[in-house]
């Protein structure tokens, strides 16, 4: 992968086994965390998971794109991390955001190149991007999966990862990006424009009102062996 300490250079990254979500985290899943839909069940069982949860969003968090089966969007890196922490406590398994190396490895799936894709037919079959998205997200798994059975690794919502330069980063491009910017090496850091319209001071640590193109998927540690990337 590109070496952040030496521009233009590459370095080898060795990965341990891991499981990755087949789809981006959907509103159906995130709503349980966001709206505390599990608390009644927890109280009845005499359990309580002390994890901070998001503030209620301003307006409609799905921006009118769709809710059931759609990727959760406009989520900050902090919010995505807290979701993983909550999910870990709920399940007893270790969930977290993928590293950039894990994400790119899973995205390429032994087939795709590291950079831009020349085959627009493949992209149309597997990804929602500017030219085919109608300027909105779509239900997860509506396109074909990649070679390892993962859906929407490219396009739809760009996905938060643990950055190789220790900064949070979103990978893969989104429905707002043209075809040339939707590929396994596509990456963006958050900018002030992503929450420019947030009236709070300081800005919300949970929501990105001007970044409806940002979502996430989770990794569970302890997966099987890692096959070679061809």
- Domain residue limits, the chain: 1-6+16-224
Strands (E), 44-127: 95-96
Residue that the structure tokens 């969930």 belong to: 95
Give the pLDDT score at 26: 98
Give residue 230's pLDDT band: very low, low, confident or very high (50, 70, 90).
very low
Q: Is 172 exposed, middle or buried (0-12, 13-18, 19+ CB in 10 A)?
A: buried
- Alpha-carbon distance of 216 to 96, in angstroms, equals 10
- Alpha-carbon distance of 185 to 171, in angstroms, equals 7
Q: How far is CA 10 from the centre of its chain?
A: 24
Average pLDDT (30-40) is 91
How far apart are the two ends of the chain, measured CA to CA in Å? 14
Give residue 45's pLDDT band: very low, low, confident or very high (50, 70, 90).
low
Fold of 1-6+16-224: 3.90.1580
Q: What are phi and psi of 75, to 5 degrees?
A: -95, 135
User: Reduced to 3 states, what is the DSSP secondary structure of residue 83?
Assistant: helix
Average pLDDT (179-189) is 96
Q: Find, among 137, 100, 128, 133, the residue nearest to 213 by Cα.
A: 137
Average pLDDT (193-201) is 93
**Percent of the chain predicted with pLDDT > 70:** 93
The single-letter DSSP state of residue 71 is B
């Amino acid at each position: 992968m590109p070496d952040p300490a030496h521009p233009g250079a590459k370095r080898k990254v060795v990965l341990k086994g891991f499981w990755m979500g087949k789809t981006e985290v959907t509103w159906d899943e995130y709503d349980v965390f966001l709206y505390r839909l599990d608390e009644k069940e927890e109280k009845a069982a005499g359990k309580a998971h002390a994890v901070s949860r998001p503030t209620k969003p301003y307006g409609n968090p799905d921006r009118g794109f769709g809710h059931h089966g759609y990727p959760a969007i406009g989520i900050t890196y902090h919010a995505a991390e807290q979701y993983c922490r909550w999910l870990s406590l709920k399940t007893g398994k270790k969930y977290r955001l993928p590293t950039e190396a894990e994400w790119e490895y899973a995205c390429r799936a032994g087939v795709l190149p590291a950079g831009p894709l020349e085959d627009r037919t493949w992209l149309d079959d597997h990804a929602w991007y500017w030219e085919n998205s109608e300027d909105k997200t779509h239900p997860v798994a509506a396109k074909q999966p990649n070679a390892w059975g993962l859906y929407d690794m490219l396009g739809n919502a760009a996905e938060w990862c643990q950055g190789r330069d220790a900064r949070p980063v979103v990978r893969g491009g989104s429905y707002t990006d043209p075809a040339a910017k939707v590929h396994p090496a596509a990456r963006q850091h958050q900018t002030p424009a992503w929450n420019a319209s947030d009236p709070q001071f300081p800005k919300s640590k949970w929501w990105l009102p001007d970044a409806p193109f940002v979502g996430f998927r989770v990794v569970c540690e302890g997966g099987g062996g890692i096959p070679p990337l061809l």
